[in-house]
Structure 1
Amino acid sequence: MTTPIKPVDRGSAIDRGFQALQRWSIRIIAIALALYLLGWAIGKTWVVWFPICLAILVVSVLAPPAKWLRDRGLSAGISAGVVMAGFLGIIAGLFWVVVPQLINEAPTIARQAAAGIGEIQYWLINGPLHVGERQILAALDSAETWLKNSAVELGTGVVTTLATAVSALFNIVIILMLSFMLLKDGHRFLPFVEHVAGQRVGQHITGALSRMWKTLGGFIQTQGLVAFIDAVLIGIGLIIMDVSLAIPLAVLTFIGGFIPIIGAFISGALAVLVTLVTNSPQDALIVLLIVVGVQQLEGNVLSPMLQGKSMNLHPAVVLLAVAGGGSLFGITGAFLAVPAAASAAALLRYLDEYLDKYEPTSNREDPDGSGGDPATDTSVEGAVQSLEGPQTPSTSV
């Protein structure tokens, strides 16, 4: 004899639904408030977190060669010192190549810029746009007036610029010192965390941190490779077109490659603008085609092939991360946004994989929700118990 199905009271069902909605709303509000407070705290202490974040990014690139040297028998301190010396040598070499070229070509660029502006003015008047000469003169007068009005601000800004330069130098020293310390002792961090947190909790903390570190290192290394290929291809194109400052523009392209989407656009636009001013509109159009072609190669071939395994983030997530980081923390926020998003995604994937192990059996074997065997039902409570350890059964008298 089958048990008759009891009718469901709609009022009770709606009441339970609103109770669940209330609980989830409180949780969502609490999480949003916590994230807001976390962002506010980071913003207030950004001067402390900025060198730490940059040092972590530097170490994510330099850690593999330092580990290779340690595996060959060198001490941790010597390995870190050798790797840091090589890193500083590369940076000094770039400055040695770029700075003299900037100094030597500055007068030539000034003359070419004056001639280029004249050619652009002639093209605007006699070209297909047929812009009136009075309009051009009015625009030039407005620019001259703006420069005169800004002279006082530029003069008072010298002190601010000097203070910024001193602060930047101080941050560079801190970043280098932190990088050396992390290279020297960073491999001892995870065992220390596991020892302090205990075996059960520590293994999950170290597992999540290892996953995040692997994702971060893979992103920085692959992004550096993609940026290097972009810089080489665009640099070759600029050299062929005989564009002034071809090498500095290629270096800027490499640096901009670490800021997805926005960095490539800014560095490419600057290369086209320099070509327009120093060469001709025809050369600028060719450089524009070169930049667009290289960026298409990056977006459709290099990034999916090289970054697919290391980051696995949707382009919309990348764009929103860059926009949000840039609006909150400026250019540094845009630079650090994607590594932070990739690390957070790695943490969420680890938690998702861990919770999948404790998915209720009734949900897998009884998708229609008709019921399951409570004795074989493994729930999220099991995940919590696995962290807390075995429980001692209580005895009643």
Structure 2
Amino acid sequence: MPASLSPTKTAAALRTSARVSLDLLLVVLAASVCLWLLGRMWSVVWPLVVGLFLTTLAWPPARFLRRRGCPPALAASVVTVAFLLVVSGIVTLIAVPVASQSGELADGAVSGIQRIREWAAGPPLNIADEQITDGFDQAVARIQDSVDSVLTAVVSGVSTVVNGLVTAVLALFLMFFFLKDGPRFLPWLARQLPGRLATDVPVVAERSWQTLGAFVRSQAFVGLLDAVLIGIGLWVLKVPLVLPLAVLTFVSAFVPIVGALFAGLVAVLIALVSNGLTDALIVLAIIVVVQQLEGNVFQPMIQSRGLGLHAAVVLLAVTLGGSLAGIVGSLLAVPAAALIAVVWNYVREQLREPESDESPAGAAVPS
């Protein structure tokens, strides 16, 4: 007969399972409360996060100046002004060539639309001009009927732009103060915390800062790789505005999913209105191949090495972050996963059993 279960061991196992389940529920509840508080304070948290991202990019030159004897305030001011000049240069690099070739692009857009109409009028679609005109009139009528919705969307868009400008200004000021007073933050934090927290929290904060810097540098490298590969393809096809499109590709790499789609759409449209449908399709194929290589090969490999995360973890983190919080979730998913890994590794270090230097009883000690 098979042996029966031990009532004592079964009861002990159930009690252990219940206790572990209760502990997990408390952890999930605490995490939910923290996320709810972050959501309530998002208008402050988001500029803080952006400011930290900018500081990781601007800190190396600021550190160089400080090591050369430059006062912290002066070093932070110089780097902040230089950062603004670089951003202004990037905007100028995009805007000036576009403005100088706007007439050519407008003519190309008109001829491109005309070619599309001629293609639609032929087989297999055989769409007559009257049908196109009727469709256009119906679209205008629908827009006129939904003026309130259009106005609401415009107001919402203006509000989003204003909020973005406010966030950028706040993030810039925070970057200045982080560059100026950043090295004094951890000692100040250690003095404010009691007991062991005065040691643990600064260590975790320093490791988190290093991890955040690795993320931003890896993202910048991936964006540069995208810009170079796509720029070479546009240059070979003789598409105009190659340099502005390459710069736009690099900048948009910091905004996951939507940034790549926007930069790719702009490149394809310019190729369509300037070079024709064939080159536009080739540009689309180049962008799709590069984006697939970036998303499935380059980015997971580079970020997994820089952040200490497996490539599969990076992919899953981006997918989960996008499903939970959209674009912002995709942007913050990888650094959030890396910071969680930093905390987890530190906790494991603290909970690890100390290695004994004594030899087990009866073991032979080598001479």
TM-score past 0.5 threshold: yes
1:34 equivalenced with 2:30 (yes/no): yes
Counterpart position of 1:336 = 332
Distance (Å, rounded) in 1 between the aligned partners of 2:297 and 2:38? 36
Larger mean Cα displacement after TM superposition, 214-223 or 105-114: 105-114
Distance (Å, rounded) in 1 between the aligned partners of 2:316 and 2:291? 20
How far residue 92 of structure 1 moved from its aligned partner, in angstroms, is 0.7
Distance (Å, rounded) in 2 between the aligned partners of 1:242 and 1:147? 38
Match of 2:343 among 347, 351, 365: 347
The 3 A distance-change label for structure 1 pair 224 and 100 is same
1:1-397 → structure 2 map (5 Å cutoff): 10-124=6-120, 126=122, 130-133=124-127, 137=132, 140=136, 143-155=139-151, 157-197=153-193, 200-260=196-256, 263-295=259-291, 298=294, 302-303=298-299, 306-358=302-354
How far residue 245 of structure 1 moved from its aligned partner, in angstroms, is 4.5
The 3 A distance-change label for structure 1 pair 357 and 325 is same
Cα distance per residue 1:246-272 (max 9 Å; x no partner):
444323311232245664355334433
Identity %: 38
Scaled by the length of structure 2, what TM-score is found?
0.82
Unaligned runs of 5+ in 1: 1-6, 366-371, 374-397
How far residue 313 of structure 1 moved from its aligned partner, in angstroms, is 2.9
Distance (Å, rounded) in 2 between the aligned partners of 1:116 and 1:10? 81
Counterpart position of 2:364 = none
Counterpart position of 2:365 = none
Unaligned runs of 5+ in 2: 362-367
Partners of 1:190 and 1:206 within 8 A in 2: yes
The 3 A distance-change label for structure 1 pair 166 and 29 is same
The 3 A distance-change label for structure 1 pair 249 and 55 is same
Distance (Å, rounded) in 2 between the aligned partners of 1:245 and 1:149? 39
Larger mean Cα displacement after TM superposition, 222-231 or 77-86: 222-231
Query: SS of the counterpart of 1:100?
Result: helix
Distance (Å, rounded) in 1 between the aligned partners of 2:295 and 2:252? 15
Cα distance per residue 1:39-87 (max 9 Å; x no partner):
2221121111110000011111111221111111111111111111111
The 3 A distance-change label for structure 1 pair 330 and 278 is farther
The 3 A distance-change label for structure 1 pair 265 and 316 is farther
How far residue 286 of structure 1 moved from its aligned partner, in angstroms, is 1.7
What number of residue pairs does the alignment pair up? 355
The 3 A distance-change label for structure 1 pair 211 and 178 is same
Query: SS of the counterpart of 1:133?
Result: coil
Cα distance per residue 1:325-353 (max 9 Å; x no partner):
44554433332332222222222222233
Cα distance per residue 1:205-239 (max 9 Å; x no partner):
22222211111101101211221221133123224
Partners of 1:43 and 1:329 within 8 A in 2: no
Partners of 2:245 and 2:267 within 8 A in 1: yes
Letter in 2 for 1:131: L
Distance (Å, rounded) in 2 between the aligned partners of 1:100 and 1:146? 36
The 3 A distance-change label for structure 1 pair 118 and 44 is same
Distance (Å, rounded) in 2 between the aligned partners of 1:152 and 1:265? 29
Partners of 2:186 and 2:202 within 8 A in 1: yes
Partners of 2:55 and 2:179 within 8 A in 1: yes
The 3 A distance-change label for structure 1 pair 149 and 268 is same
Letter in 2 for 1:99: A
Partners of 2:303 and 2:314 within 8 A in 1: no
Letter in 2 for 1:89: L
Distance (Å, rounded) in 1 between the aligned partners of 2:201 and 2:170? 28
Distance (Å, rounded) in 2 between the aligned partners of 1:356 and 1:139? 70
Letter in 1 for 2:94: V
Cα distance per residue 1:176-199 (max 9 Å; x no partner):
111100110011111222333367
Distance (Å, rounded) in 1 between the aligned partners of 2:40 and 2:324? 11
Cα distance per residue 1:88-136 (max 9 Å; x no partner):
1100101112223344444543432332233234445546xx2341697
The 3 A distance-change label for structure 1 pair 300 and 39 is closer
Query: SS of the counterpart of 1:131?
Result: coil
